């Protein structure tokens, strides 16, 4: 057992990128793991995310050896209501990652859906890709179907296209189109690119509307399609190559259901 890791590789990647690429966690979460003393390189606890492990270095997280990076893979997953999008929940609530199909490898999510929201959640084994797809400059359109209680005219929803300030928070452009109404219950198709925390619920509440169901149906070019709750389907390698410029994965789309 050594007191410190072997000499780092000056030309290699930082440990945070290495672990993100191996699907352990996002770079930001890897930095937290290092601060918590959960990462070791060649038997020594790592103290800095700037360290660059040498080729062949033995990297361990929580006492388990990290395997080499696998080809980038991406899955579409139908997140049910009642699950939080986190690996660990301080309140002990059930998480997405506790209910994934058992045949999936270790994955992380691209963004989140809150406890009471459902629909499309992208999952990947590549932390660097997850971070890239979450960045605002990526500018991917997220589309939702929203059921809400209350009365509103299409003209009022159209004003959301210019952005809105609600409770002191500035939200970017939102496109909302009424689909159908029955009494005071209505459905709307909503599209946005920014995606602040609980944005749709807060904006609708600002308009005097109560959201009772929120389903994400698309994230950029990826669609929820006919997935059922708790079901996951891998994005074919050809689609990854076309949409993300990644090397094709030979695996064909396979649909999986959580137990």
pLDDT band (50, 70, 90) for residue 133: confident
What pLDDT is attached to residue 252? 41
Task: Report pTM.
Answer: 0.74
CB of 32 within 8 A of CB of 137? no
What pLDDT is attached to residue 29? 86
Q: Active-site residue 9, yes or no? A: no
Give the DSSP H or E segment for 154: helix 154-158
pLDDT in tens, 89-117: 888 899 999 999 988 988 889 989 999 99
Strand 118-124 with 210-219, pairing: parallel
Residue 1 has pLDDT above 70, yes or no: no
* Domains of the chain as residue ranges with CATH: 15-65 (3.10.290.10), 74-130+231-257 (3.30.70.580), 141-219 (3.30.2350.10)
Which bin fits 152, alpha (ψ -120 to 50), beta or left (φ > 0)? Answer: beta
State the Cα–Cα distance between residues 181 and 239, nearest whole angstrom. 37
Residue 57 has pLDDT above 70, yes or no: yes
Find the range with the poorest average confidence among 17-21, 52-56, 68-72, 185-189: 68-72
DSSP, res 95: B
Q: Where does 159-258 have alpha helices with state H? A: 199-206, 237-244
Burial of 30 (0-12, 13-18, 19+ CB in 10 A): buried
Q: What is the rounded average pLDDT of the residues 44-54?
A: 89
Residue 246 has pLDDT above 70, yes or no: no
Angle at 101 between CA 135 and CA 97, to 5 degrees: 50
Higher pLDDT, 65 or 70: 65
Looking at 3, 89, 114, 158, which residue is catalytic?
A: 114
């Amino acid at each position: 057992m050594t007191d410190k890791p072997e000499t780092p590789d000056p030309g290699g990647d930082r440990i945070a990128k290495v672990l993100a690429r191996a699907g352990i966690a996002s770079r930001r979460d890897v930095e937290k793991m290092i601060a918590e003393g959960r990462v070791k390189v060649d038997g020594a606890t790592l103290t800095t995310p700037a360290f660059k492990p040498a080729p062949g270095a033995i990297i361990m997280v929580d006492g388990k050896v990290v395997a080499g990076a696998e080809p980038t893979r991406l899955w579409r997953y139908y997140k049910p209501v009642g699950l939080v999008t986190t690996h660990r929940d301080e309140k002990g609530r059930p998480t997405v990652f506790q209910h994934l199909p058992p045949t999936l490898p270790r994955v992380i999510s691209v963004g989140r859906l809150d406890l009471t929201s459902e629909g499309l959640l992208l999952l990947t084994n590549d932390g660097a890709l997850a971070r890239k797809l979450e960045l605002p400059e990526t500018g991917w359109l997220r589309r939702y179907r929203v059921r809400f209680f209350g009365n509103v005219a299409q003209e009022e929803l159209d004003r959301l296209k210019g952005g809105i300030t609600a409770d002191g928070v500035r939200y970017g452009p939102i496109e909302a189109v009424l689909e159908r109404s029955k009494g005071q219950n209505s459905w709307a198709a909503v599209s946005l690119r920014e995606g602040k925390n609980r944005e749709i619920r807060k904006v609708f509440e600002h308009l005097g509307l109560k959201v009772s169901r929120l389903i994400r149906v698309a994230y950029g070019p990826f669609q929820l399609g006919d997935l059922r709750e708790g079901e996951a389907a891998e994005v074919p390698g050809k689609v990854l190559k076309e949409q993300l410029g990644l090397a094709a994965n030979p695996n064909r789309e396979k649909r999986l259901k959580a137990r």
